[in-house]
Amino acid sequence: MHSASHICAPAVHMLAAGGFFMILLTKWNDLLWQWLLPVLLTAAAVLCGIRQKGKPVIGLMRMLRELFGGLFTSRTDANQRGIFANALAAAMGTGNLIGTALALIHGGAGAIFWMWISALLGMFLVYAENVLGIRFRRVHPDGTITGGALAYLRYGTGAKLLTAFFAFCCIFAALGMGNMAQSSTIAQSAAYFHMPHAGSGMLIALLLFVILRRSPAHAKAFAARLMPLLCGMYLIGCGYLILRNRNALPHACMEILRGAFGLQAAGCGCTAGILLQSLSIGLRRGIFSNEAGLGSSALLHMDADSDDPVLQGKWAAAEVFLDTVICCTATALVILTAPACQPAAFTDASALLLHAFSAGLGDAASVFLSVSMMLFAFATMIGWYPCGAACAGYLFGKNACTVYFAAYVLLAFAGALGSPAWIWAFCDCCNGMMALPNLYGLMILSKKSNSGRFTS
């Protein structure tokens, strides 16, 4: 008769191996996201910005007036509105809430300033991605399109293996960050309403099946309806709380500027450690929020009806601005203006958000945050689906999209039941690996990202 120790030995070994793998994955992610990618992303953004002569940032206000002035008129067709909403859905996930709160906890108020800088750098990156994605786009005889990062890596750099590596990583990033991580977030938020994780998973999978089974165009139409309502609801809620605590707004703005440059509260002295920490956290959280440099933006814009690369570049730059400078700033100001709210005193981002929003919304804060988190996360799931589908089609042919669709729906259910720590570690790895070949392509082709004109 076997002893209990012999029976349990395989399970113990599996847990030990899993723990060891988790440690390795965490160490690799730390190296990737704390050192390698911030340096590469910043270098690529500066290079692209120089090649573009700063046009996406210098012409920002004119660009926003031009784009948003015609967003709901005949000047902007339904195809472009759907692409804009879908790309915004992919970028505007839980990072706008949880990511901003984490930036304040670990980097102080100054991290918000560096998130703004990351957004400006990100605008150069996504502008380059989309200009190159349309320029190198190919429409094949069977009607399929190779565009976005797949096009400029394959036809611009000529690196077939690198393009395949990017596509492979993108599939797993879509299934991980775009799907399972968001499903896990929804399940945790739905638990506030006493819904079991299995029930949340089944509901998410069913909704995805209904929305995504028809065509990418149907998903874009859904995103075009959801995103204005979602963004409007969240920004109105944040605006109400900021106005309610408007007397604290000047102090909050001063804290952002002081913290950004390591200035102490007394206004004298500068600590290099505080400055570096604020800069590092702000840049990293900004990258997490707007996803600039990953190549996902160009994949979402690749089937635009317009052949104008500048137009797609401008829309993509506007998406980064709205995601980070508007929505993340709104979250940050709610926290910084809330009475007796000290982000450094918190270790959990959700607790910090709840404390800040409860100051103005009372008991309704939990409902507002839970619903916002669920809707942002679900919108991200809709937004990321076409990225993985395009890469699956590129690697394995048109029929692979059916297999990818089935995997996307099933893994949405699995994500609701999985361990959040494992899921997020896996997602961070996939996103980082996806960015590496994309940044290589952007730096090699940076000269071609300058269209020679910016106004239409």
Give the pLDDT confidence of 209-224 residue by residue, as tens digits: 998 887 666 777 777 7
| Residue type at position 32 | L
Is the per-residue pLDDT at 12 higher than 50? no
Is the per-residue pLDDT at 266 higher than 60? no
Q: Which residue has the higher pLDDT, 73 or 137?
A: 137
What local confidence, expressed as pLDDT, does residue 376 receive? 87
Question: Confidence class of residue 409 from pLDDT cuts 50, 70 and 90?
Answer: very high
Is the per-residue pLDDT at 195 higher than 70? yes
d(CA 422, CA 176): 10
Q: Which residue has the higher pLDDT, 146 or 17?
A: 146
pTM, two decimals, is: 0.84
Is the per-residue pLDDT at 129 higher than 80? yes
d(CA 381, CA 427): 14
Q: Cα 395 from chain centroid?
A: 24
What local confidence, expressed as pLDDT, does residue 206 receive? 93
Axis crossing angle, helix 420-444 with helix 181-190, rounded to the nearest 10: 140
d(CA 343, CA 360): 17
Is the per-residue pLDDT at 268 higher than 50? no
Residues counted in the chain? 456
Q: Which residue has the higher pLDDT, 419 or 245?
A: 245
**Ordered domains of the chain (ranges, CATH):** 85-446 (1.20.1740.10)
- pLDDT, one tens digit per residue, over 157-181 is 888 999 999 999 999 889 988 888 8
- Among 252-261, 373-382, 415-424, the range with the most confident prediction by mean pLDDT is 373-382
